[in-house]
Structure 1
Amino acid sequence: MNHKLAISWFLGGPEWDALDPIELVIKEAMTVSGANRVIFVGGSGGGFAALRASIRFPGSLAYVQSPQTVVTRYLPAAVEAYFGSVWGQNKTDVAMSSPQRFDLASLYRVNAGLNVVYYLQNLNDPTHIRDHYKPFKRIHGVTEAEGESVDGTKYFYLSDSELLRHGPPTAAEFELNFDRAIRFYESVLLKRPTKMKNFI
């Protein structure tokens, strides 16, 4: 539809939500492997997809690195290309008609406590801190620069990364925070065994 599209793989279009087949594939993989929990990992646009997919799997963990949380606040050229090519409509009109598909704050408000999130944000990425990190942590009751959500299922961490712009953490930063995310996840499961029960 448009070779400049950069965010469509996890969004789909008017008649098709890309997350629907993704969900089916994950469920089949869990059945085949015998897994009863799943961890979603992603950064930037992949972080948006991980956060959105995790809601469909109660008790799952989303470990995300500097994700987008509001599609319309992503790179303007990419956003315009997506909404213009795929929807043929103004981004504001489409986003307002399906808020939970394009704004994760809206999605998480109505699905509080379903999953666990470890949100790693690069301190050297001011645009994402302003447009994505701060709005998302606020809906979880986090008023400090970083910390744990009111319900104890989300953790927000600012990292003074070696990367001086938006992008993935270094391998060492990724591994360090992945270990922290797993420990946080395990602690939540221990504290909330009935609400974070196995879902398959």
Structure 2
Amino acid sequence: MSLIKENHILLSSDEKNILLEKKGIHFKINVKEGYEYRFSGEINYSEFEKDNAALITFTFDGFELDMNNCQEYGLKYSNSVGAFSYLDTKYNTNTFDVTIKIPKGVNSINVTLMPWYNNKEIHIAKMIFFQAIAPGKKRIFESCKQMVFSDITALKIIYDEPVLYRYVGEQFPFEFLAHFKTDSNKLVILGTAAIKKEIVLPAFQRHTQIAAIPESCMIVHDPTYYVNREILVGWYQGDISFPVIPTIIELIDQFLYRMSLPNTNVLFYGGSAGGFFSLLMVAHFRDSVAFVTNPQTNLLKFNEKMVQILLHYAYNDITIEEANKKYIEKMSIIELYRTLNFFPKVWYRQNRLDFFHYKNHMLPFIEYYVRDTNDLSAHENLIFELYSHEKGHNAVAELNDIIDEIRKAFLYFQA
């Protein structure tokens, strides 16, 4: 049985790609009237087939589509199949990308993907996206190019414009919003912190700023938010059956390979839970740099209610004490570094007036660094900066500050 999530459907299949047969692939989703819906996925045509060899068709419950009104809602019309759009490949990739509008009074639609006068095989990746787009100004990643791919080696780098990359080879979608620049030989990778429940996934904090940052930038959505929408901070844990960090590492490796970038030209940037992600990832990319502000260094020492929600949905409702015994290397940066016997290059910025993080996250991290690090070279790898801001943990860096922080971290650690 297919699994319908907030913005994607995971088709029931043990294979990454499904043969598109004449009977078609059918699903029904609930929608919001007046919204646009953007359908995308990966399609692989035989070399002998044309783009118009497959269709996506629609019927709107309670509303009749016909040749007179289809164009208004972003569709074509045929007497044989009704309202449809061709599954054309976009952006010189194997991605199809179709946007439709939902009329007033429509709360559910029926969708079919089907071949059309084809003689060769057509395959669809088993994960299909249906992004809800609210009326009004669109978020950057709701209108930019997309690349959907199920084979990591098929990744293609697109420069000098925002691109939403969606890897669909696993049980979770892995999503990256990137703005790669041809005139930059450095890459800044940003993590995702806590989100609000009402936000439409994926979540890309600072997505409006990455074009203005001189370096190439990529924001990594936290797939943990797809486990359950009650989770408002995920720390890139995935769930007990599928940890997501190994796949994220593999994907970032592929981005760096395609861009011919060494780890020395990579900086992980983030605050709070995004800072946790940066501290985690910098340990897996030797010679890279992390710039973090008020991060969590042990997620089990964060807000107890939020931690319990994560453990309930992602770890089969284990207690904080059980998590501390079984999974501490995934949840504590200190224990990760201790296990790896490695201290990476970190610029750690802490607000004195963020008393909770100062006491529960910064002080244990500094204590570990001072007392437990035996490698003398590690003592050159930490820059610690204290500052004061009345907003405490909620203080947010402005764009010019971010640009300066990235610049000075690269300059210091590459000197």
With normalisation by structure 2, the TM-score equals: 0.41
Q: Which structure is higher in RCO with an 8 Å CA cutoff and minimum separation 6? A: 1
Work out whether 1:155 is the aligned partner of 2:383: yes
Name the SS for the 2:348 alignment partner. strand
Aligned partners of 1:169 and 1:137: how far apart in 2? 23
Could you tell me which residue of structure 2 aligns to residue 145 of structure 1? none
Work out whether 1:28 is the aligned partner of 2:257: no
Tell me if structure 1 keeps the 8 A contact 2:328–2:335: yes
**Aligned-residue offset at 1:122:** 1.5
Aligned partners of 2:311 and 2:259: how far apart in 1? 37
Give the AA of the match of 1:32: R
Could you tell me which residue of structure 2 aligns to residue 165 of structure 1? 392
Q: 1:40 to 1:72 in 2, by over 3 A?
A: same
Could you tell me which residue of structure 2 aligns to residue 78 of structure 1? 306
Structure with the bigger percentage of helix: 1
Tell me if structure 1 keeps the 8 A contact 2:235–2:276: no
**Aligned-residue offset at 1:7:** 2.4
**Aligned-residue offset at 1:135:** 0.6
Could you tell me which residue of structure 1 aligns to residue 285 of structure 2? 57
Aligned partners of 1:117 and 1:44: how far apart in 2? 15
Name the SS for the 1:6 alignment partner. coil
Work out whether 1:3 is the aligned partner of 2:229: yes
Unaligned runs of 5+ in 1: 143-148, 188-200
Aligned partners of 1:141 and 1:174: how far apart in 2? 28
Work out whether 1:131 is the aligned partner of 2:354: no
Tell me if structure 2 keeps the 8 A contact 1:9–1:18: no
Could you tell me which residue of structure 2 aligns to residue 99 of structure 1? 328
Tell me if structure 2 keeps the 8 A contact 1:45–1:68: yes
Aligned partners of 2:254 and 2:404: how far apart in 1? 30
Tell me if structure 1 keeps the 8 A contact 2:235–2:273: no
Name the SS for the 1:23 alignment partner. helix
Work out whether 1:40 is the aligned partner of 2:268: yes
Unaligned runs of 5+ in 2: 1-226, 372-376
Structure with the bigger percentage of strand: 2
Could you tell me which residue of structure 2 aligns to residue 13 of structure 1? 239
Q: 1:20 to 1:150 in 2, by over 3 A?
A: closer
Name the SS for the 1:4 alignment partner. coil
Deviating more after overlay: 36-45 vs 172-181: 172-181
Count of aligned positions = 180
RMSD: 2.0
Aligned partners of 1:114 and 1:69: how far apart in 2? 14
Name the SS for the 1:135 alignment partner. helix
Q: 1:43 to 1:70 in 2, by over 3 A?
A: same
Name the SS for the 2:393 alignment partner. coil
Tell me if structure 1 keeps the 8 A contact 2:283–2:342: no
Work out whether 1:116 is the aligned partner of 2:345: yes
Name the SS for the 2:384 alignment partner. strand
Aligned partners of 1:138 and 1:114: how far apart in 2? 13
Give the AA of the match of 1:51: L
Tell me if structure 1 keeps the 8 A contact 2:296–2:357: yes
**Aligned-residue offset at 1:9:** 5.6
**Aligned-residue offset at 1:21:** 1.2
**Aligned-residue offset at 1:64:** 0.8
With normalisation by structure 1, the TM-score equals: 0.82
Q: Aligned residues: percent identity?
A: 22
Q: 1:18 to 1:157 in 2, by over 3 A?
A: same
**Aligned-residue offset at 1:106:** 1.0
Aligned partners of 1:9 and 1:18: how far apart in 2? 10
Deviations 1:156-196 (A, max 9, x none): 111123x5221333334433333332222113xxxxxxxxx
Deviations 1:62-102 (A, max 9, x none): 11111110011111221010001221211220222122111
Aligned partners of 1:2 and 1:185: how far apart in 2? 39
